[in-house]
Amino acid sequence: MYILSDDRLYRQDEIELLEHKKQIIFTSIENDRIIEWLKGHSFPESFIEDIRNEDQSVAYEEHESFRLAILKYFQKDTENDLLYNDKNVAIIMYENKFIFLAREKRMVKTIINRLFRRYKPNDSLEYVLYLVIDIMVDHTMSVIDHIDNRLEDIEDRIFNDTLDEQEVQKNLYFARRTLNRIGKLSVQQNDTINKIFNHFPVVMRKKLKYEFIDLKEHLSFLINESKTYLDRTGYLQNLLMGFISNRMNQAMQRLAAISLIFLPLTFIVGNYGMNFAHMPELDWKYGYAAVWVLNLVIAFLIFKWLKKKRWI
């Protein structure tokens, strides 16, 4: 558990949550001590269910002195470089307490480290909420940038002879899956952030107006960019399929060219395989050699013609 109090960052589980002191807490959803503290302060049971439910959608809820926001954080999956899974984070505001809950400790550590570099002791909890959301949105923008770079790399490699079609198709599938999720959740988070801002006190709304305008612009950017890159993955899939189809056509063309070379030769050999009693060439001394020369000449002429037509 991390506790940001005054201008210091503590990382000790035994730190007490002081009732009349401003504290910013970052910890795991599985931290029973925090859950018990919340229950002891009349935190609604339905809110706790929402926090612990992995399938909970983006939401903002209020109850008496508590405010709860469920948001999403994108984390890279070990299965593929372009696959990101969305994880729930819960942000609770209660009087002079700001509590951030996430399922994975790595996520908690990443966000508290970034917040600590931007935090000032006199910052209000509403401004801290803005900072945390901004950090999460910036992280999602970095995911979009990473996907953009990887799509450029895929586009450059599509016409490479060493291209692994199966790997590229898998990468495009995971990129589309991630972009779809980012686009959908960015729309939901944009609506939720509007609710959060509208429930601020009037003084805070005036003070943080431009910060939240900037935040919503970033979310709009995410929505538009995810759609743009989703279209790009569709273009790359079509380009890949066209390349594979073209390569298959070339292979079929070569097979047809080989068949065309041997077709007249097969015809000649077939003639001499017939069981006729009188075939003059069979009694000729140079008959065998003449048939070989004829076969080679025909094969050479067809090969040159195919070469000229660029079939082989």
Query: What mean pLDDT is reported for the chain?
Result: 87
Q: What is the value of pTM for the model shown?
A: 0.79
Q: Which of 67, 93, 96, 69 is nearest to 6 (CA)?
A: 96
Neighbours of 7 (CB within 10 A): 10
**Model confidence at 130: pLDDT above 80:** yes
Report all structural domains of the chain as residue ranges with CATH numbers, in order of start.
Answer: 2-246 (3.30.460.20), 251-308 (1.20.58.340)
Mean pLDDT on 97-102: 92
The rounded distance, in Å, linking the Cα atoms of 232 and 17 is 49
User: pLDDT digit string (tens) for 273-293?
Assistant: 777 777 777 777 788 888 888
- pLDDT category, 91, cuts 50, 70, 90? very high
Question: What is the pLDDT, as a whole number, of residue 14?
Answer: 59
User: pLDDT digit string (tens) for 166-207?
Assistant: 888 899 999 999 999 999 999 999 999 999 999 999 999 999
